[in-house]
Amino acid sequence: MDSPTTAMPAHPATFPPPAALRGSLLRHASPQHFHALAGRLLPWAWMLAAVLLAAGLALGFLVAPADHQQGEAYRIIFLHVPTAWIAMLAYVAMAFWGAVGLAWNTRLSFLLMRALAPTGAACAFLNLWTGALWGQSTWGTWWVWDARLTSMLLLFFLYAGFLALTASIDDPQRGDRAGAVLALAGVVNVPVIYFSVQWWNTLHQGASITPRGTSVAPGMLWALLLSSLGLWAYAVGAVLSRARCLVLERERHAAWARRLPEVAR
């Protein structure tokens, strides 16, 4: 069988990038470079997340005007909407890294794919939870079998399936590839699921922010924008730090990893 492990030594000693890659973005595909780069990016991601989330939520909860129909309850959207965006895009990103890994056999892409899943699942869960809180005060019910709610629930189960599958396979390489195949099957299905469920039943309010313009007050829009960027920075930070852990787990026997203070100890 064309196993990826035979092409590459399982525990390469050091991994200097070939001369052709020096200066190219591709050198970050080496776990060693990625580990260092992500380590440098992480403080920025956390700082941005803290500042933007604080600003966005302060603006959203204290400054933005109350909605003339929904009163104060609408303010949950400053968390509800960003989590929906992250949950959906994280799945696409997962499938993207899975496809890259399957096509080019790059180990790091699979690690990024694995690192994205828990964040995406958490965001899908938060989205459902905040939606239920909002629905109780606005629609008077915790849950309705509406297209958007149901498709988010199904997305959550797709994440759950991915996490369960990758957790149940002991061989890391096989787990990577099986996860990538599943993520790709899922991402082909997500639009079909979305439209089938939409046809089935729709009650959720339509999108207020579209490429053609918005129907949101400027104060709300700024709050939403800042809190979205803040949650994105948080998601990037969480994914990068999880990916760093995965890199160290896989490469713990490599010489460069053993020289790191956190491994040497």
Under 8 Å between Cβ of 236 and 230: no
Instruction: Tell me how far CA of residue 172 lies from CA of 5, 32, 163, 176, 178, in angstroms.
Output: 11, 18, 13, 6, 10
Closest approach of Cβ 49 to other proteins, in Å?
A: 30
CA distance 194 to 192: 5
Closest approach of Cβ 187 to other proteins, in Å?
A: 11
Tokens standing for residue 150: 């149901």
CA 212 from chain centre, in angstroms, equals 27
Considering only 58, 165, 216, 248, the residue that binds other proteins (CB under 8 A) is 165
- Is there binding between residue 102 and other proteins (CB under 8 A)? yes
The residue among 5 and 24 lying less far from other proteins, judged by its C-beta, is 5
Stretch that binds other proteins, among 9-17, 66-74, 168-176, 215-223 (CB under 8 A): 168-176
Closest approach of Cβ 173 to other proteins, in Å?
A: 7
Instruction: Tell me how far CA of residue 13 lies from CA of 16, 125, 217, in angstroms.
Output: 10, 41, 57
Fill in the per-residue mask, 4 to 43: x = in contact with other proteins (CB under 8 A), - = not in contact. Answer: ----------------------------------------
Ramachandran sector of residue 17 (left: φ over 0; alpha: ψ -120 to 50; beta: rest): beta
Considering only 113, 182, 224, 257, the residue that binds other proteins (CB under 8 A) is 182
Closest approach of Cβ 184 to other proteins, in Å?
A: 7
Size, binding site for other proteins by CB under 8 A: 32
Considering only 169, 216, 245, 260, the residue that binds other proteins (CB under 8 A) is 169
Considering only 24, 136, 189, 202, the residue that binds other proteins (CB under 8 A) is 189
- Is there binding between residue 186 and other proteins (CB under 8 A)? yes
DSSP string covering 189-225, please? HHHHHHHHHHHH---SPPPSEETTEE-S-HHHHHHHH
Q: How many Cα atoms occupy the beta-carbon half-sphere of 242 within 13 Å?
A: 17
Helix, coil or strand: residue 55: helix
Residues that bind other proteins (CB under 8 A): 1-3, 102, 154, 157-158, 160-161, 164-165, 168-171, 173-174, 177-178, 181-182, 184-186, 188-189, 192-193, 196-197, 199-200
